[in-house]
Amino acid sequence: MDADAGRFAPNPTDAVTRAYRASLTLATTRGGDRSRGVHAMAQALQNAFDDILDANTLDLEASREMAVPELILEWLKLTPERLQTTIQILHRIGELADPIRRVMNATYQLDDSQTYCQLMPLGVIAFIYEAFPELAAIAAGFCLKTGNSLILRGGSEASQSNLVIAQALQDALDEAGLPPGCLEILASEQGASIRDLVTQDRFLNLVIPYGRPTLVQQVVQQSTAPVLKSAMGNCYLYWSATGSLEMVRRVILDSHASEPDPVNAIEKILINRYQKPSALMILWNSLKDKGFKLRGDSELVTEFPDQLTLAAESEWNQPYLDKVIAFKVVDSIESAIAWMNHYSSGHADCLITESYQESRQFALGVDSSSAYINSSPRFSRNPKRGDAVFLGISNQKGYRRGMINLESLTTLKQVVQGNGQF
């Protein structure tokens, strides 16, 4: 591994330049060649399966000695099941329809010509991630499938895992005949800072940060290139006066079942004032039996001091990213929507109700990328139904909002085909 370390620690400027040159070639490659490259990366991970797990064990041991937070250790830990799921996701990406050069009608036509739009690669994408070593491979699959070059910048806590995974992926790309530079990795321990990377806006077309809110905010503040913010945690649920207790309980538990990153975990519950105290007690006892810690606003804590601890004001707009849920009383769905729009992370909020009117009001009024009504928001990168795979969820307006899929990494080109007449 040491012999290859230099290959993975380029200067950010050199890495972005190489990635840019590779992106020009990738943009003209056939979809079949890119798909074969994705399958080759999946097979390379399968061949390096034991080496990856061994490297991950070293990362975990080193991180525990450095007192890395338990949350990050959980994100860092690669089980055989997690690694096998990653391989399956890559194979599925390889099998999906090629999104590049897909033709769509233009919004207007010029005289004596035909105007159309087509999806094209963005160019060079940087993926900055905290722990989650398997996400490097998934991001590589997304970018190769869409004809983009990728620069990986992982955290030091996953350095051994990141290097072994990147080595396997790059070897597969080389053997597939894809251009050198289409996958670059910047090693944090070699001094490649996040700022050095995200300010390379001459050739860098998009930055995707993935991790705790502090990491995402750091990238947003420092980047001179466009940023596609991802979000996790601090999702709200409004329990209407007509909402089912059992549905609320099941939705909460299911939302926390995503592994390893609780992207859409419900962490805050807004309770209609007319909910029965007996229903609240049943819910709280059930959640405590499942290992949840419960908090509440001052009104609820005063009324139920044995069940809840007081939530600080700062907690309402911050994710716990743990088995912690805070409860608050509100007077109406209007109050619930207003509170969510001010305090939630804005990527996935829920409503449990039997009222059609409330359903429509919530769907139109809540300012989130996804609104779930009588449904669990549980996130899956590789859903069983549908024809898509997802990298994460963005709560950002102005670029791509909602699920980050293959088309999120493309842009539009308008083509005017004339006949020589003006």
What's residue 2's pLDDT? 41
Average pLDDT over residues 370-387: 90
What is the edge-to-edge ordering of all strands in the sheet holding 266-272?
309-310, 293-296, 324-330, 266-272, 235-239, 349-352, 371-373
Mark residue 386 as left, alpha or beta (left: phi above 0; alpha: psi -120 to 50; beta: remaining): left
What's residue 384's pLDDT? 83
What are the structure tokens assigned to 268, written together? 């805050």
Whether the per-residue pLDDT at 190 is higher than 70: the answer is: no
What's residue 107's pLDDT? 76
Residue 210: pLDDT band with limits 50, 70, 90: very high
Summarised one tens digit per residue, pLDDT across range 76-85 is 999 999 999 9
What are the structure tokens assigned to 329, written together? 């009383």
Q: What architecture does CATH give domain 2-230+392-418?
A: 3-Layer(aba) Sandwich (3.40)
Asked if residues 373 and 353 have their Cβ atoms less than 8 Å apart, the reply is yes
Whether the per-residue pLDDT at 4 is higher than 60: the answer is: no
What's residue 118's pLDDT? 87
Give buried/exposed letters for 274-303 (b at 16+ CB in 10 A, else e). Answer: ebeeebbeebbebbeeeebebbbbeebbee
Asked if residues 178 and 37 have their Cβ atoms less than 8 Å apart, the reply is yes
Residue 95: pLDDT band with limits 50, 70, 90: very high
Identify the burial level of 138 via C-beta atoms within 10 angstroms of its C-beta, where 0-12 means exposed, 13-18 middle and 19 or more buried. Answer: buried
Asked if residues 351 and 371 have their Cβ atoms less than 8 Å apart, the reply is yes
What are the structure tokens assigned to 374, written together? 């009588």
What are the structure tokens assigned to 286, written together? 């059930």
| Rounded distance between C-alpha atoms, residue 35 and residue 41, angstroms | 10
Strand bridging mode 124-129 / 206-210: parallel
Average pLDDT over residues 105-127: 85
What's residue 322's pLDDT? 92
What's residue 416's pLDDT? 86
Q: Could you tell me the residue ranges of all domains in the chain? A: 2-230+392-418, 235-373
| Rounded distance between C-alpha atoms, residue 197 and residue 162, angstroms | 17
Per the prediction, the chain carries an average pLDDT of 92
Summarised one tens digit per residue, pLDDT across range 267-292 is 999 999 999 999 999 999 999 999 99
Amino acid making up residue 248: V
What's residue 258's pLDDT? 85
Asked if residues 407 and 390 have their Cβ atoms less than 8 Å apart, the reply is no
Task: Rank 111-120, 190-199, 302-311, 400-409 by mean pLDDT and report only the highest.
Answer: 302-311
Residue for token digits 């670059």? 184
Whether the per-residue pLDDT at 193 is higher than 90: the answer is: no
Closest residue by Cα to residue 124 from 90, 153, 94, 97: 153
| Rounded distance between C-alpha atoms, residue 284 and residue 293, angstroms | 9
Give backbone dihedrals phi and psi of 149, rounded to 5 degrees, phi first. Answer: -80, 150
| Rounded distance between C-alpha atoms, residue 180 and residue 149, angstroms | 10
| Rounded distance between C-alpha atoms, residue 362 and residue 356, angstroms | 10
Average pLDDT over residues 234-256: 97
Omega before 69 within 30 of 0, i.e. cis: no
What are the structure tokens assigned to 377, written together? 């928001």
Give buried/exposed letters for 55-84 (b at 16+ CB in 10 A, else e). Answer: bbeebbeebeeeebeebbeebbbbeeebbe
The CATH number of 235-373, from 3.30.420.40, 3.40.309.10, 1.10.10.10, 3.40.50.1820, is 3.40.309.10
Q: What is the 3-state secondary structure (H, E, C) of the chain?
A: CHHHHHHHCCCHHHHHHHHHHHHHHHCCCCHHHHHHHHHHHHHHHHHCHHHHHHHHHHHHHHHHHCCCCHHHHHHHCCCHHHHHHHHHHHHHHHHCCCCCCCEEECCCCCCCEEEEEEEEECCEEEEEECCCCHHHHHHHHHHHHCCCEEEEEECHHHHHHHHHHHHHHHHHHHHCCCCCCCEEECCHHHCCCHHHHHCCCCCCCEEEEECCHHHHHHHHHHCCCCECCCCCCCEEEEECCCCCHHHHHHHHHHHCCCCCCCCCCEEEEEEECCCCHHHHHHHHHHHHHCCCEEEECHHHHHHCCCCCEECCHHHHHCCCCCCEEEEEEECCHHHHHHHHHHHCCCCCEEEECCCHHHHHHHHHHCCCCCEEECCCCCCCCCCCCCCCCCCEEECCCCCCCEEECHHHHEEEEEEEEECCCC
Specify the pTM. 0.91
Whether the per-residue pLDDT at 50 is higher than 90: the answer is: yes
Residue for token digits 């005289």? 111
Summarised one tens digit per residue, pLDDT across range 313-369 is 999 999 999 999 999 999 999 999 999 999 999 999 999 999 999 999 999 999 999
